[in-house]
Chains A and B, each alone.
Chain A
Amino acid sequence: AQSVTQLGSHVSVSEGALVLLRCNYSSSVPPYLFWYVQYPNQGLQLLLKYTSAATLVKGINGFEAEFKKSETSFHLTKPSAHMSDAAEYFCAVSDGQGGSEKLVFGKGTKLTVNP
């Protein structure tokens, strides 16, 4: 069974500071990994995804994540936080092609950006 652990339910940074949101996964097969962002009372928007190609994945809005198999991690980073980045972020894993394609989500990390 797959699972995702997001360390830190709340992260607070200053505007312009580095954003680091942590995600560790567990999967018995090569995983597909995703980061989504959710604004209040809205659906989820895909930030980026890893599907077994380049381990450093660049996404929208200046976010990127690095897949590290040895650490079973897929941490999300952004060099300089913007006020508009304040939202809930979810890491998710699926078992990729040929699998059930179900997404399993972490519990989410709420990012607060202080002026």
Chain B
Amino acid sequence: GAVVSQHPSWVICKSGTSVKIECRSLDFQATTMFWYRQFPKQSLMLMATSNEGSKATYEQGVEKDKFLINHASLTLSTLTVTSAHPEDSSFYICSARPPIGGYTFGSGTRLTVV
């Protein structure tokens, strides 16, 4: 089946540094990918829609300059958390929609900012 690979699975970074998270569609092309954030014991909140070759579409309340999204190819989207602070600590999950079937999710990235 369609697979989305997300890397890294977990990362710890110092406050003020930037962290990049990669999301790859392994066996299909994804012109659109989605980035979600999940707080502990809560649901997934859509942060932005990543569009190949164009700017991402951010949800209301999401800071574009803090959460940089790049979708440079049909199989790769990246989310960079810039100048990370402890409040950015969360579980980030990407998703894509293969040609057949429902949305496929990455395994998530646990970000801890210390």
Contact = CB atoms under 8 A, between A and B. Distances in A.
B108 A41 contact: yes
A103 B43 contact: no
Contact of B102 (A34, A43, A108): A34
A105 B43 contact: yes
A92 to B, nearest CB: 8
Interface in B85-114: 91, 93, 95, 97, 101-108, 110
A64 to B, nearest CB: 15
Given A102-B49, A103-B46, A108-B43, A41 B102 contact: no
Contacts of B93: 43-44
Contacts of B104: 46
B44 to A, nearest CB: 5
A100 B97 CA distance: 12
Interface of B: 4, 6, 32, 34, 42-46, 49, 91, 93, 95, 97, 101-108, 110
